[in-house]
């Protein structure tokens, strides 16, 4: 199936148009005939013999970009001067920077911000280390830690290859949660090295967001760091995904009128995200979950289970269903995919119960494309922004860390995650809720505020806030 044009493959074209009738129309036709979609044209008034313009065109992939460029070059009345890939241009020089919070405009400023005045703050922290949480960047700073071993759908691309993702995460932390986050991409060869390095770095940060670390090492890293450190440790691939998935399930059930405890759920993919989704759904009241990995249905006693899959097996699939994904889809109410593209068929969905809920969240390509099941599925969601109901972690992690930092939390508990999911779900009002709108906009700042407030409140009630000590 041909991919539709998308912003991530958009190009900007610098062109000169002859100022005669029909030239702009010919340019638009040339781009459209090769499948390009004009996204933007800078405004202009045509005066003189020629007009210089910047035109943005969405393309399907890198090869399609070249096809569009060739079509523009061959259009009569058009001179192409230059073009660039807008995504690559956005990333030039990185996406974040450090800015000062105080002035150093004169000697007095310098004497307070640095020597000799800074010595007073250093001594105060030496005598009371808790002051580091209020008088250094620890108050609002999170480390985004990755070894680049499981980046998006790209796999093990190494720490330098992972940097653009971690920079992007830092950008989202700041834009949506007001949290100062910094990418820490580690050149390591084992989970133990990640653990050791983060423990040594921990005095600098108020929290740690683990990102794109391959399972099962990701479980080991999170578990060890939570045990060793007294700051929030959060593996977003696990818990961020689980929180937004639960929010999506809760709102889908508002539409169908069904109860989570009565429903059958299949989770495709029993890695970091799948295990965390299963755990949070169980905590929310689900009773019938079956996980499926590359070897088939997961059940207690099956071969090839690591310790985390073993936990999943012991707490799900009590009837010990076996077989492939297709074998366990009959009579299912909810399908949740965090696995691989195009592994779910229309026939599989036809075997589900009435009003099926399907969340195909594999990125960049889902387990099944929504257009194939239009009219069959009651509620459909993906991880993509170009389909309705995007189930996106950015709805969760900025608010979760904002709330944890505001509460001076030492941990992020299961109850804090459940509260975050409820806050996200409740951000969609009854009037707004429908089959194509179960998730709030990631650009609504009120969502982060609600999540942060809910998380901070539960941190206090769960006894993990330093504010109540």
Catalytic residue numbers read 114, 169
Looking at the DSSP bridge assignments, the partners of residue 289 are 265
Each as own residue / partner, the long-range contacts of residues 89-93 (CB below 8 Å, 24 or more positions apart, any chain) are 89/12, 91/164, 91/167
Q: Which is nearest to 247 in space by CA: 421, 384, 109?
A: 421
What CA–CA distance (Å, rounded) separates 262 from 179?
39
Looking at the DSSP bridge assignments, the partners of residue 337 are 268, 360
E strands, 42-153, where? 50-59, 78-85, 141-146
- Contacts of 45 by beta carbon, 8 Å cutoff, 6+ apart: none
| Contact predicate 450/427, CB 8 Å | yes
What CA–CA distance (Å, rounded) separates 368 from 360?
6
* Widest Cα–Cα separation across the chain: 79
Is 467 exposed, middle or buried, given 0-12, 13-18 or 19+ CB atoms closer than 10 A?
Answer: exposed
Peptide bond preceding 380 in cis form (omega within 30 of 0): no
Question: Could you tell me how many helices (H) and strands (E) the chain has, helices first?
Answer: 17, 14
Residue 36 φ then ψ, to 5°: -80, 150
H helices within 407-444, ranges in order?
Answer: 414-426
| Contact predicate 423/374, CB 8 Å | no
What CA–CA distance (Å, rounded) separates 119 from 130?
17
What CA–CA distance (Å, rounded) separates 93 from 56?
22
| Residue whose pair of structure tokens reads 């700051």 in the numeric block | 231
What CA–CA distance (Å, rounded) separates 198 from 377?
44
Neighbouring C-beta atoms of residue 269, cutoff 10 Å: 22
- Contacts of 269 by beta carbon, 8 Å cutoff, 6+ apart: 291, 292, 293, 337, 338, 339, 340, 362
Percentages helix, strand, coil for the chain, rounded to the nearest 5? 45, 20, 40
| Residue whose pair of structure tokens reads 């939390």 in the numeric block | 409
């Amino acid at each position: 199936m041909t991919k539709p044009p998308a912003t991530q493959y958009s190009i900007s074209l610098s062109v000169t148009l002859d100022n005669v009738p029909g030239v702009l129309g010919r340019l638009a036709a040339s781009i459209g005939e090769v499948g390009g979609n004009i996204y933007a044209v800078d405004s202009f008034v045509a005066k003189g013999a020629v007009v210089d313009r910047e035109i943005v065109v969405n393309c399907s992939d890198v090869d399609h970009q070249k096809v569009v460029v060739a079509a523009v070059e061959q259009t009569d009345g058009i001179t192409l001067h230059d073009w660039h890939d807008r995504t690559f241009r956005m990333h030039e020089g990185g996406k974040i920077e450090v800015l000062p919070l105080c002035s150093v405009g004169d000697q007095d400023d310098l004497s307070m911000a640095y020597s000799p005045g800074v010595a007073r703050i250093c001594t105060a922290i030496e005598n009371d280390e808790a002051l580091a949480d209020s008088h250094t960047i620890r108050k609002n700073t999170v480390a985004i830690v990755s070894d680049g071993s499981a980046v998006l759908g790209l796999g093990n691309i190494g720490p330098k290859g992972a940097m653009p993702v971690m920079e992007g995460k830092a950008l989202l932390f700041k834009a949506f949660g007001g949290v100062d986050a910094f990418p820490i991409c580690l050149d390591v060869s084992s989970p133990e090295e990640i653990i050791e390095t983060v423990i040594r770095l921990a005095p600098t940060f108020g929290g740690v967001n683990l990102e794109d670390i391959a399972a099962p090492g990701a479980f080991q890293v999170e578990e060890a760091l939570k045990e060793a450190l007294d700051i929030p440790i959060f593996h977003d691939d696990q818990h961020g995904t689980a929180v937004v998935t639960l929010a999506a399930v809760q709102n889908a059930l508002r539409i169908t009128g069904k109860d989570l405890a009565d429903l059958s759920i299949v989770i495709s993919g029993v890695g970091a995200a799948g295990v965390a989704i299963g755990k949070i759904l169980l905590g929310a009241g689900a009773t019938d979950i079956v996980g499926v990995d590359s070897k088939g249905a997961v059940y207690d006693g099956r071969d090839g289970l690591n310790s985390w899959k073993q936990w999943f097996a012991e707490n799900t699939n009590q009837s010990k269903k076996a077989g492939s994904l297709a074998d366990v889809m009959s009579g299912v109410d909810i399908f949740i995919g965090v696995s691989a593209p195009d592994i779910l068929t229309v026939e599989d969905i036809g075997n589900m119960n009435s009003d099926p809920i399907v969340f195909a969240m594999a990125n960049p390509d889902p387990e099944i494309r929504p257009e194939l099941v239009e009219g069959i599925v009651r509620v459909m969601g993906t991880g993509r922004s170009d389909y309705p109901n995007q189930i996106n972690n950015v709805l969760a992690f900025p608010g979760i860390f904002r709330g944890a930092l505001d509460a001076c939390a030492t941990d992020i508990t299961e109850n804090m995650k459940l509260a975050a999911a409820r806050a996200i779900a409740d951000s969609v009002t009854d009037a707004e809720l429908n089959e194509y709108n179960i998730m709030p906009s990631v650009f609504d700042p009120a969502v982060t505020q609600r999540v942060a407030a809910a998380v901070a409140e539960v941190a206090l009630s769960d006894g993990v806030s330093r504010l109540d000590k």
